[in-house]
Amino acid sequence: MMANFITTLQNQVLLGDGAMGTMLVEQGLPPGENPELWMITHPQAVQEVSRAYLTAGSQVLQTNTFGASALKLGEYGAARRVEEINKKAAQLVREVAQDQAFVAGIMGPSGQFPAPLGTLDWTELVEVFGRQAQALEAGGVDFIFLETFSDLGEIRAALFAAKKYTRLPVACSLTYTKGRTLTGTSPRVAAIVLEAMGADCIGANCSTGAAELLAIMEEYRQHTGLPLLVEPNAGMPELINGQTIFKETPADMARFAEPFRALGVNLLGACCGSTPAHIKAMGEALTSRQPAPRREQSDPPVMRLASRSRAVTIGSSELPVLIGERINPSARKAVAAALKQQDWDFIIQEGASQLEAGAQLLDLNTGLAGGDETRLLPAGVQQLQMSLDCPLVLDCTNPAALEKGLQEFQGKALINSVNGDEKSLRAILPLAKKYGAAVLGLTLNEKGIPAGAEERLAIATEIIATAESYGLPREDIIIDCLVLTAATSPEMAMETVRAISLVKEHLGVGTVLGLSNVSHGLPQRSWLNAAFLSLTLGAGLDAAIANPLNQRIKETMIAGALLTGRDQGARNYLTQAGKTAVPAGVPADQDRGQVEPKTALQRAILQGQQEIVVPLVQKLLINNDVLSVINEGIIPALETIGGQFARGEAYLPQLILAGDAAKKAFTYLKDNFPRQKAAQGGTIVIGTVKGDIHDIGKNIVTALLENHGFRVVDLGKSVPAEAFLEAARQEKADVVALSALMTTTMVEMPQVIDLLKKELPEVKVIVGGAVVTAAYAREIGADGYGADAVEAVHLVRKFCPEQKS
């Protein structure tokens, strides 16, 4: 075996190889044939590809095993041949590479998803990847290369399997589109999670070409100290003169070699569509094989947690973090009942409301009396991570349940908790290391919670030392100095504050506090919780487990962050205070100061400000009659917005919002001045024709007609022809309006029109809807066609010229 792959990679930029599939096609792989099975009968063809890359300068050669997992081979009825195929593939490349190049044992996605996205469970997936990794190791590869994964959950399982079943280094590569993997993972999140899980090298391959991968690699560089790899594809293929052509030429790809090296890339190769010529050009373009210097570790250390799609950091230089405490059956009966009935919708809602209120992490406690935590915790993890995108705090001290929960969580979780008792440390810390989680350490031990701050510091020191001995980095430990209830020990509260200061000063790790204990058994708990939060933030607290729905807690957190110098430029404070809540550039509502009341009403309607419309109408009514409020206040605004919309100067939602605001004004007038009837423009019967269940467009037309003072009888959706006739007759309609969205349902329209023309020839019929055109309207004998809601109003006006005030 050659020198250690990772050591070499750290000191030298290595040139990888390029595409395998397209090269095998050139070697004669027939269409539709499985490349891994074909290899067994055509070993020389595969070796030919490897040899060509070696000659081109590749220092890392890949095995032809991308689809050689039991699940993929199973699609060809060859699941039992995993060992044979992978071992053989590794041996074939090793024969070519000798000691001239490293051999990468390639493993691709299984084609299935781990739960909750798919149906495979963790154990099954780990076994599938483990089997393949073992066979590759037996064949003599230098490292396992997980390639083209698009789901963090799956690559996490593959990495775990490769680490568990082999002694080889593991490189992890994801594929990205528009900066994210298919299931929403950014390079930053991938770096946090895969680094914690023990990856030796990380990066990206395939994706949409080299240019896009520059930004991806830049993000990786900012968030990891691990060696980086990149293997872009040669653009999207095109058919030119009957030949499949990949757009990026060797010279095109070579232009990116140096920029990638400058970003700190250690392994540079290529993917789909590339050839040995691409690799040769890339190698020649490198001006040096010296890797670019990488980032320094942050000081003070910052804890990084992540879900599949979101990262959260905790540390002295960051905003303090609020951890939602409400999913806890021992503290809340409703949660206990929901867990008992497995009412996960309730639990998800509990999570969602806490996130909405400002929590960044959710504490998940499923320790239900009489419940099976080994089942409830993983189920809870699955449910929450499917619907919510925050990292989770697994609040559990049962190692068996915790292990299952950690397997399911497709990110980097925080374990709540260990304590100074050796038994607790021994049971929990190995799990944290194995599954790449961070740990919350409580400053208590088998003797209980020590009274003094110094003793608590001693326990924290012990926890950190033990965690480090298990291989956990210091930044992955956060200390809870614990608070007792002020009901029994009010004098102890300040001891906790002192302990936080000591831990921050002497150990430099993050601190967290289960805040609500301080008020246990006392009334007005939020007074105490908020006051204590304030004191502890002053001592350097980095995160609080608390109730984010409590406004006082939330406000204290925001204000405390500013006052303790963690909120640069008061940016968070101002945003939370609503001063910059609307993104820059969004026009603020106009000043309504000294404006003439009719203009103010028009402006309010134009801006869709429903809440101020009625007061403005009331103000106007002091000096004006109802009709002039309508004709000079409401209608001109509707005309203006309708005109703006027709000219493409306003958006449809603005038109509808203005309509809603006008409706408020009309409703007020109608309710309060029933005798002074508002202008009635005529009666319209409207509905979506039989078979069509899409009624959003019809509802917009209804709203707009009502806002223009017409009486609208809305028959709803999927209305039969006879119902239109009956309503038109009963309601003495002036106009019947028909709507249809689909080509299959608009054919109902002529039937309604025929019936109406026969029975009620004086009634006008207008039509509209997504697929309906003016030509179609003419063809079926409609009296008019409205391309949009504003046109519909104009048409109706035309057909109801006499105002019946």
Query: Could you say whether residue 112 binds other proteins (CB under 8 A)?
Result: yes
CA distances from 301 to 113, 297, 315, 322, 726 (A): 34, 8, 7, 19, 75
CA distances from 254 to 17, 247, 436, 589, 619 (A): 13, 13, 37, 52, 72
Closest CA to 391 of 357, 359, 349, 432: 359
3-state SS, 404-450, equals HHHHHCCCECEEEEEECCHHHHHHHHHHHHHCCCEEEEECCECCECC
Q: State the Cα–Cα distance between residues 144 and 733, nearest whole angstrom.
A: 75
Using a 10 angstrom Cβ sphere, with 0-12 exposed, 13-18 middle and 19 or more buried, the burial of residue 169 is buried
Is-contact 222 191, C-beta < 8 A?
no
Is-contact 267 171, C-beta < 8 A?
yes
- Closer to other proteins by CB, 345 or 505: give it: 345
Query: Could you say whether residue 350 binds other proteins (CB under 8 A)?
Result: no
Query: Could you say whether residue 618 binds other proteins (CB under 8 A)?
Result: no
Three-class secondary structure of residue 714 per DSSP: strand
> CB of residue 373 vs other proteins: minimum separation in angstroms?
24
For the segment 630-649, give every residue that binds other proteins (CB under 8 A).
Answer: 648-649
Closest CA to 234 of 204, 215, 211, 218: 211
Query: Could you say whether residue 348 binds other proteins (CB under 8 A)?
Result: yes
Query: Could you say whether residue 659 binds other proteins (CB under 8 A)?
Result: yes
Using a 10 angstrom Cβ sphere, with 0-12 exposed, 13-18 middle and 19 or more buried, the burial of residue 654 is middle
Pick from 653, 677, 759, 778: which binds other proteins (CB under 8 A)?
653
Which tokens in the block code for residue 351? 């999570």
Is-contact 273 246, C-beta < 8 A?
yes
Query: Could you say whether residue 200 binds other proteins (CB under 8 A)?
Result: no
Q: State the Cα–Cα distance between residues 577 and 582, nearest whole angstrom.
A: 11
Binding mask 250-289 for other proteins (x = CB under 8 A): ----------------------x-----------------
- Closer to other proteins by CB, 179 or 490: give it: 179
Q: State the Cα–Cα distance between residues 5 and 15, nearest whole angstrom.
A: 13
For the segment 755-774, give every residue that binds other proteins (CB under 8 A).
Answer: 770-771, 773
Query: Could you say whether residue 69 binds other proteins (CB under 8 A)?
Result: no
> CB of residue 241 vs other proteins: minimum separation in angstroms?
12
Q: State the Cα–Cα distance between residues 268 and 263, nearest whole angstrom.
A: 11
Q: State the Cα–Cα distance between residues 340 and 355, nearest whole angstrom.
A: 23
Pick from 299, 422, 589, 759: which binds other proteins (CB under 8 A)?
589
Query: Could you say whether residue 582 binds other proteins (CB under 8 A)?
Result: yes
Per-residue burial over 508-536, b if 16 or more Cβ lie within 10 Å, else e, is: ebbbbbbbbbbbeeeeebbebbbbbbbbb
- Closer to other proteins by CB, 550 or 654: give it: 654
Which tokens in the block code for residue 720? 């039969």
- Closer to other proteins by CB, 382 or 556: give it: 382
Query: Could you say whether residue 660 binds other proteins (CB under 8 A)?
Result: yes
Query: Could you say whether residue 578 binds other proteins (CB under 8 A)?
Result: no
| Cα 390 → chain centroid | 9
Query: Could you say whether residue 184 binds other proteins (CB under 8 A)?
Result: yes
- Which stretch in 121-129, 532-540, 605-613, 627-635 sits in contact with other proteins by CB under 8 A? 605-613
- Closer to other proteins by CB, 117 or 627: give it: 117
**Cα dihedral sign, 44-49-54-58:** negative
Query: Could you say whether residue 562 binds other proteins (CB under 8 A)?
Result: no
Count of residues of this chain found to bind other proteins when the rule CB under 8 A is applied: 85
Query: Could you say whether residue 1 binds other proteins (CB under 8 A)?
Result: no
- Which stretch in 93-101, 113-121, 359-367, 434-442 sits in contact with other proteins by CB under 8 A? 113-121
> CB of residue 25 vs other proteins: minimum separation in angstroms?
6
Query: Could you say whether residue 309 binds other proteins (CB under 8 A)?
Result: yes
Pick from 545, 703, 735, 737: which binds other proteins (CB under 8 A)?
703
Pick from 91, 485, 572, 610: which binds other proteins (CB under 8 A)?
610
Query: Could you say whether residue 724 binds other proteins (CB under 8 A)?
Result: no
Using a 10 angstrom Cβ sphere, with 0-12 exposed, 13-18 middle and 19 or more buried, the burial of residue 72 is buried
Closest CA to 659 of 639, 631, 686: 639
What does the DSSP 8-state code read for residue 75? T
- Rg, Å, the chain Cα set: 34
- Closer to other proteins by CB, 349 or 488: give it: 349
Pick from 654, 713, 729, 794: which binds other proteins (CB under 8 A)?
654
Binding mask 9-48 for other proteins (x = CB under 8 A): ------------xx--x---x-xx--x-------------
Pick from 2, 37, 79, 117: which binds other proteins (CB under 8 A)?
117
What does the DSSP 8-state code read for residue 72? H
Number of CB atoms found within 10 A of residue 480's CB: 26
Is-contact 665 613, C-beta < 8 A?
yes
Pick from 337, 494, 577, 696: which binds other proteins (CB under 8 A)?
696
Beta bridge partners, 589, equal: none
- Closer to other proteins by CB, 563 or 652: give it: 652
Q: State the Cα–Cα distance between residues 213 and 627, nearest whole angstrom.
A: 64
Binding mask 479-518 for other proteins (x = CB under 8 A): ----------------------------------------
- Closer to other proteins by CB, 91 or 387: give it: 387
For the segment 412-431, give every residue that binds other proteins (CB under 8 A).
Answer: none
Q: State the Cα–Cα distance between residues 196 and 627, nearest whole angstrom.
A: 71
Query: Could you say whether residue 150 binds other proteins (CB under 8 A)?
Result: yes
- Which stretch in 176-184, 298-306, 415-423, 616-624 sits in contact with other proteins by CB under 8 A? 176-184
Pick from 588, 623, 758, 802: which binds other proteins (CB under 8 A)?
588
Closest CA to 128 of 105, 102, 154, 99: 154
- Closer to other proteins by CB, 584 or 622: give it: 584
> CB of residue 584 vs other proteins: minimum separation in angstroms?
9
For the segment 211-240, give every residue that binds other proteins (CB under 8 A).
Answer: 236-239
Pick from 650, 669, 719, 725: which binds other proteins (CB under 8 A)?
650
Closest CA to 662 of 686, 685, 629: 629
> CB of residue 765 vs other proteins: minimum separation in angstroms?
20
- Which stretch in 190-198, 279-287, 330-338, 344-352 sits in contact with other proteins by CB under 8 A? 344-352
> CB of residue 745 vs other proteins: minimum separation in angstroms?
6
> CB of residue 741 vs other proteins: minimum separation in angstroms?
9
> CB of residue 374 vs other proteins: minimum separation in angstroms?
22
Rounded to 5°, angle at Cα 97 from 34 and 139: 60
Q: Which helix (H) or strand (E) holds 754?
A: helix 749-759
- Closer to other proteins by CB, 356 or 505: give it: 356
- Closer to other proteins by CB, 244 or 568: give it: 244
Pick from 508, 538, 691, 781: which binds other proteins (CB under 8 A)?
691
Pick from 7, 177, 489, 680: which binds other proteins (CB under 8 A)?
177
Pick from 10, 249, 387, 575: which binds other proteins (CB under 8 A)?
387
- Which stretch in 4-12, 274-282, 321-329, 651-659 sits in contact with other proteins by CB under 8 A? 651-659
Which tokens in the block code for residue 596? 């003439």
Query: Could you say whether residue 300 binds other proteins (CB under 8 A)?
Result: no
